[in-house]
Amino acid sequence: MINDLTPLQIVSELNKYIIGQDNAKKAVAIALRNRIRRQKLSPELIDEVTPKNIIMIGPTGVGKTEIVKRLSKLVKAPFVKVEATKFTEVGYVGRDVESIIRDLTEVGVQLVRKEWASKIEDKAKQLVDEKIIDYLFPVSKKGKEQKTNLLDGSFYSGTEEEEEEEKKESFDVSTKKDEREERFERTRKKFEDKLEKGDLENRLIEIEVEENIKSTVEVFSNAGIEGMGFNFKDIMGRMFPQKRKKQKVTIAEARKILLYAETQKLIDMDEVIRAAIDRVENLGIVFIDEIDKIASQEKSYGPDVSRGGVQRDILPIIEGSTVMTKHGAVKTDHVLFIAAGAFTTSKPSDLIPELQGRFPIRVELNILNKEDLKKILTEPCNSLIKQYTALLATEGLKIEITDDAIDEIAEASFLVNEQTENIGARRLYTVLEKLLEDISFNAPSLKKKQVTIDKKYVKKKLQTIVKSEDLSRYIL
């Protein structure tokens, strides 16, 4: 549970995926813990405590995005990553900054909806099985009514003798009806057992599904279709009832179609939206990458799509304002904003003073050295060595990479980062792809299903490229 996570536990969880960068981990752990603390405050203070937004300063590929992404997954918080360069000042053609909160709200709704779907999954599956049985072994409603009518004395008229005769006949009919019902129940039970065992998955059945009619009408507002405060599709759906069509599918396919339909019926979307907005307002995390690209520099020539204007537009959202979304009004007062940038040609002080004030915590991330790269290759739960080994294992190929080979890969990556642009841990992807290129290409046809990659093999594959700076620029 989120309430049980201490800063130490948060850092411990982040350590499973990110190597080093202890200062950044500590900063985000404190920011998250402060949110937990805020929930326990008195009503008078709870609205007064605002999140302490963070600026991460460091080159690309050192773990800025990964830290925030893992943090949001850890607490199941609505999370959205945006590039600062995508946004323009109001009056220019492009996305306005309020779309960040609309996107975050949409993520929140989907997150809560998935949680609801998992809660009602068993009930939905039960309803689907009942529907499939009804399709396999339909019950005639008309027939039932007729049988009921035959047993209803009020439908008959005639003499007393005829009525007596009809009563005898009705007794025979009811006896036959009991037998038919028993036979019907036995047969239905057999179908249920077969369905449960999975014996009927490939059997074709005819089901009724809602026909999806694409609307040819599009409505745009000044802020674009994303800025509309209502759902046009829902309005059209209420005006015109959904058409249904019959479709022949296998039971396995029918199960998927019907499960989605039944889940939709069981989910209370009003409650989902209420819970999602609450989660966005109190737990939402927005990661603004490349914030250094909109920093106002002293000497700037040519069109810059009004960088200062984007900063001024983004300021009210970070400070706290109300944004209208199609799901309702969302307050941004307690949304946590984490900005990041390399700040190679600019510095945080180049941002407008008001925006600087909204990011009180500054964290500098370290450039990765050879040892860091070596740890990244092997230690995280999702390490690259584990990923490549698992991928090639799907071809029946067992790959073993020796320790000295891992040393050599880290060394080569570090050297190329120094010689060319430093892209951090992302360099490991390029080096490993080049290293395993031939093995990966020939994997399906290799007779020898066990390959050992040692230092000698790594040197042979990468030596010429690492030595030649020109080649490194184009290949690695």
CATH of the domain at 87: 3.40.50.300
Q: How far apart are CA 141 and CA 97, in angstroms?
A: 57
Residue 310 pLDDT > 50:
yes
If you ran DSSP here, which 8-state letter would residue 100 be given? H
- 195 and 246 in a single domain? The answer is yes
What is the pLDDT, as a whole number, of residue 222? Answer: 46
CA angle 349, 355, 360 (to 5 degrees): 75
pLDDT category of residue 312 using cuts at 50, 70 and 90: confident
Burial class (CB in 10 A: 0-12, 13-18, 19+), 55: buried
If you ran DSSP here, which 8-state letter would residue 444 be given? G
- Tell me which of 329, 347, 364 is where a domain ends: 364
Q: How far apart are CA 71 and CA 271, in angstroms?
A: 26
Decide: helix, strand or coil at residue 332.
Answer: coil
Residue 217 pLDDT > 60:
no
Q: Among 75-79, 103-107, 234-238, 387-391, which is the least confidently predicted range?
A: 234-238
Full residue range of the structural domain in which residue 424 is found: 370-475
What count of Cα atoms within 13 Å lies in the side-chain half-sphere of residue 237? Answer: 10
Backbone φ and ψ for 220, nearest 5 degrees, come out as: -120, 140
Decide: helix, strand or coil at residue 381.
Answer: coil
Q: How far apart are CA 416 and CA 420, in angstroms?
A: 6
Residue 353 pLDDT > 80:
yes
What is the pLDDT, as a whole number, of residue 89? Answer: 64
Split into its structural domains, the chain has a count of: 3
Rg (CA), the chain: 32
What is the pLDDT, as a whole number, of residue 155? Answer: 39
- 378 and 350 in a single domain? The answer is no
Of 210, 233, 329, the residue nearest 281 (C-alpha):
329
Contact (Cβ atoms closer than 8 angstroms) between residue 339 and residue 359: yes
pLDDT: which is higher, 227 or 364: 364
- 125 and 259 in a single domain? The answer is yes
- Tell me which of 334, 364, 394 is where a domain ends: 364
CATH number of domain containing 403: 1.10.8.60
Distance of alpha carbon 218 from its chain centroid, rounded? 27
Residue 296 pLDDT > 60:
yes
pLDDT: which is higher, 36 or 164: 36
pLDDT: which is higher, 170 or 286: 286
Contact (Cβ atoms closer than 8 angstroms) between residue 287 and residue 79: yes
Q: What is the average per-residue pLDDT within 55-60?
A: 90
What is the pLDDT, as a whole number, of residue 149? Answer: 33
- 262 and 278 in a single domain? The answer is no
- 26 and 50 in a single domain? The answer is yes
What is the pLDDT, as a whole number, of residue 27? Answer: 92
What is the pLDDT, as a whole number, of residue 229? Answer: 46
What is the pLDDT, as a whole number, of residue 435? Answer: 92
pLDDT category of residue 236 using cuts at 50, 70 and 90: low
* 42-50: long-range pairs with CB below 8 Å, 24+: 47/333, 50/320, 50/333, 50/334
If you ran DSSP here, which 8-state letter would residue 76 be given? T
If you ran DSSP here, which 8-state letter would residue 52 be given? -
Q: Among 184-188, 210-214, 327-331, 334-338, which is the least confidently predicted range?
A: 210-214
Residue 337 pLDDT > 80:
yes
- 159 and 184 in a single domain? The answer is yes
- 131 and 217 in a single domain? The answer is yes
- 406 and 422 in a single domain? The answer is yes
Biggest CA-to-CA distance, the chain? 113
If you ran DSSP here, which 8-state letter would residue 40 be given? T
Q: Which tens digit of pLDDT belongs to each residue from 117-170?
A: 888 888 888 888 888 877 777 765 444 433 333 333 333 344 455 445 545 555
Helix and strand counts by DSSP (H, E) for the chain: 20, 11
Contact (Cβ atoms closer than 8 angstroms) between residue 423 and residue 342: no
Q: How far apart are CA 429 and CA 419, in angstroms?
A: 17
Decide: helix, strand or coil at residue 19.
Answer: coil
Burial class (CB in 10 A: 0-12, 13-18, 19+), 221: exposed
Q: How far apart are CA 99 and CA 323, in angstroms?
A: 9
Decide: helix, strand or coil at residue 6.
Answer: coil
- 188 and 236 in a single domain? The answer is yes
- 101 and 127 in a single domain? The answer is no
Q: What percent of the chain has pLDDT over 70?
A: 79
pLDDT category of residue 1 using cuts at 50, 70 and 90: very low
- 155 and 261 in a single domain? The answer is yes
- Tell me which of 266, 293, 325 is where a domain ends: 266
Q: Tabulate helix, strand, coil % of the chain (nearest 5).
A: 60, 10, 30
- 88 and 126 in a single domain? The answer is no
pLDDT category of residue 175 using cuts at 50, 70 and 90: low
Burial profile 73-94: b = 16 or more Cβ within 10 angstroms, e = fewer: ebbebbbbbbebbebbbeeeee
What is the pLDDT, as a whole number, of residue 206? Answer: 76
Q: At what angle do helices 384-393 and 426-435 cross, to 10 degrees?
A: 40
What is the pLDDT, as a whole number, of residue 235? Answer: 57
Residue 102 pLDDT > 90:
yes
Query: Do you know the residue count of the chain?
Result: 476
Q: What is the average per-residue pLDDT within 339-364?
A: 87
Contact (Cβ atoms closer than 8 angstroms) between residue 358 and residue 337: yes
What is the pLDDT, as a whole number, of residue 221? Answer: 45
Q: 209: part of which helix (H) or strand (E)? A: strand 204-210
What is the pLDDT, as a whole number, of residue 145? Answer: 39
